């Protein structure tokens, strides 16, 4: 039920901020703004503010917006108002007006990320789960239950890590920049801290997704290997497992965390038949041994084991709250990181180094809008910040129909001293529309594929 209103609110807010950037800078440069529109199609609301010549409209299709300015290229302009037309402005003024929209989205992202930091948000603690077998973390000797205290790309610039989300950000930056990440670890079993280096430069950065984190070996925070809700008639219930049972070992394998237990359950059907094993568990302070035989389930082309119960307790949480300047700086850093990652991924898709499946369209955005809103205000604000970054970066791309395309024209004008001719602008606009429609079609196809899959 939250999906549609959360999606519409997100679009309306982000589009309004984008167009407001154009609008305010246009007024500051002395340009007459005729219309400020949120959405396309039939107008649902229409009004003109007192002492203003601008008509404000809210339209039925909230998939964009525009600011219509006085311009001799679109309609005749009276000689007395020619100085207020957009096309008569200096190169510097036109550049500022066009760039103001995407920059407004990036500034909004900074403020949203900062607001989340100022308010405080619960995040999983940076406690490591058992690393994936053969992964970078496993080869480096990371162990389940170790807490990441500090991280940095060299010993001299180590910074405190407050949550698992911060650790994930360090990992992404290390992969994208091709750097070695140093982690300072603390363990409840050992009083002394130790440092471990992860050579992230050896990993491909074609796609920042779950598969990349599996290769690193740090895909999620540590959880107790505890049984959660047990489904009726599932293998867990048939074999005597109960909610809150703490699993100590499976066969001869000691269990350190929930991730390890889930992987052992999945692998218990690797031979095509369920494997019965002895589970040692702790229940209400007593030690028990149960013979457990998982059910078989088809997962793609392979058979996996399932026990019909939630495996793993929720991770330990910490509320991360920032001071005024620290929160604002966090907003700048996260906006920069997300912008950089978006540009890199777009560049890799352009040259074929990354899959076009990474493109997402309105259906995926609507789905995530509803999911984030259902989790709470802070999660929804983080979603808004992410989409605001994406909108700002997308509009800065040098496509003729986007703000970045106009900035490309102005770059040519600044370098040559002459404006792009109307004939060339028409050709480039048509090419830009075709390319943008192709990108939208691919994104929509990916959306449908994800939802149906």
Catalytic residues: 19
Q: Is residue 366 within 8 Å of 387, Cβ to Cβ? A: no
Cα–Cα nearest to 228, from 245, 251, 211, 205: 245
Q: Indicate the SS3 state at residue 161.
A: coil
Q: Is residue 282 within 8 Å of 201, Cβ to Cβ? A: no
> At CB < 8 A and 24+ separation, what contacts does 293-301 make?
293/235, 293/239, 294/235, 294/265, 294/268, 294/269, 295/234, 295/235, 296/269, 297/269
Record the tokens describing residue 215, joined without a space: 């290769």
Continuous H helices in 309-421: 324-350, 362-375, 377-395, 403-416
Q: What are phi and psi of 246, to 5 degrees?
A: -100, 120
DSSP state of 157: G
Residues 6+ apart with CB under 8 A from 74: none
Record the tokens describing residue 71, joined without a space: 């311009």
- The separation between CA 418 and the C-alpha centre of its own chain, rounded to angstroms, equals 41
Q: What is the 3-class SS of 254-310, one letter each residue?
A: ECCCHHHHHHHHHHCCCCCCCCCEEEEEEECCEEEEEEECCEEEEECCEEEEECCEE
* 304, burial (CB in 10 Å: exposed 0-12, middle 13-18, buried 19+): middle
Residues 6+ apart with CB under 8 A from 192: none
Residues 6+ apart with CB under 8 A from 350: none
Question: Could you count the other beta carbons within 10 Å of the beta carbon of residue 287?
Answer: 10
DSSP state of 73: T
Instruction: Give the span between the Cα atoms of 441 and 232, in whole angstroms.
Output: 44
Record the tokens describing residue 370, joined without a space: 């509803």
Number of residues that make up the chain:
453
């Amino acid at each position: 039920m939250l999906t549609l209103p959360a999606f519409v609110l997100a679009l309306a807010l982000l589009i309004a901020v984008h167009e407001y950037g154009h609008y305010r800078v246009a007024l500051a440069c002395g340009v007459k703004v005729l219309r400020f529109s949120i959405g396309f199609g039939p107008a649902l609301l229409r009004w003109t503010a007192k002492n203003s010549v601008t008509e404000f409209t809210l339209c039925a299709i909230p998939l964009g917006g525009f600011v219509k300015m006085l311009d001799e290229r679109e309609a005749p302009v009276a000689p007395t108002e020619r100085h207020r037309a957009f096309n008569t402005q200096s190169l510097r003024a036109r550049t500022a007006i066009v760039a103001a929209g995407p920059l407004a989205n990036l500034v909004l992202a900074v403020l949203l990320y900062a607001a989340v930091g100022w308010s405080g948000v619960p995040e999983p603690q940076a406690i490591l789960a058992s690393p994936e077998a053969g992964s970078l973390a496993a080869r480096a000797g990371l162990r389940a239950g170790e807490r990441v205290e500090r991280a940095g790309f060299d010993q001299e610039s180590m910074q405190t890590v407050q949550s698992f989300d911060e650790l994930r950000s360090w990992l992404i930056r290390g992969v994208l920049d091709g750097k070695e990440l140093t982690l300072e670890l603390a363990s409840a079993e050992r009083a002394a801290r130790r440092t471990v280096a992860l050579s992230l430069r050896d990993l491909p950065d074609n796609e920042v997704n779950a598969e990349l984190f599996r290769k690193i070996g740090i895909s999620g925070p540590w959880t107790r290997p505890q049984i959660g809700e047990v489904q009726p008639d599932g293998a867990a219930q048939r074999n005597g497992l109960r909610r809150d049972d703490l699993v100590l070992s499976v066969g001869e394998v000691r269990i350190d965390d929930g991730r390890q237990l889930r992987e052992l359950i999945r692998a218990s059907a690797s031979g095509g038949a369920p494997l019965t094993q002895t589970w040692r568990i702790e229940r209400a302070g007593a030690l028990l041994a149960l013979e457990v035989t998982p059910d078989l389930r088809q997962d793609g082309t392979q058979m996996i084991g399932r026990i019909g119960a939630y495996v793993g307790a929720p991770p330990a949480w910490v509320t991360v709250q920032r001071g005024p300047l620290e929160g604002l700086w966090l907003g700048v850093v996260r906006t920069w990181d997300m912008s950089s990652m978006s540009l890199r991924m777009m560049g890799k898709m352009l040259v074929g180094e990354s899959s076009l499946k990474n493109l997402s369209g309105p259906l995926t955005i609507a789905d995530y809008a509803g999911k984030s809103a259902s989790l709470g205000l802070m999660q929804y604000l983080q979603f808004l910040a992410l989409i605001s970054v994406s909108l700002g970066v997308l509009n800065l791309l040098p496509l003729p129909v986007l703000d970045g395309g106009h900035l490309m024209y102005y770059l040519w004008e600044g370098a040559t001293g002459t404006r792009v001719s109307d004939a060339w602008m028409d050709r480039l606009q048509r090419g830009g529309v075709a390319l943008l429609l192709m990108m939208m079609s691919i994104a929509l196809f990916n959306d449908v594929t994800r939802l149906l899959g």
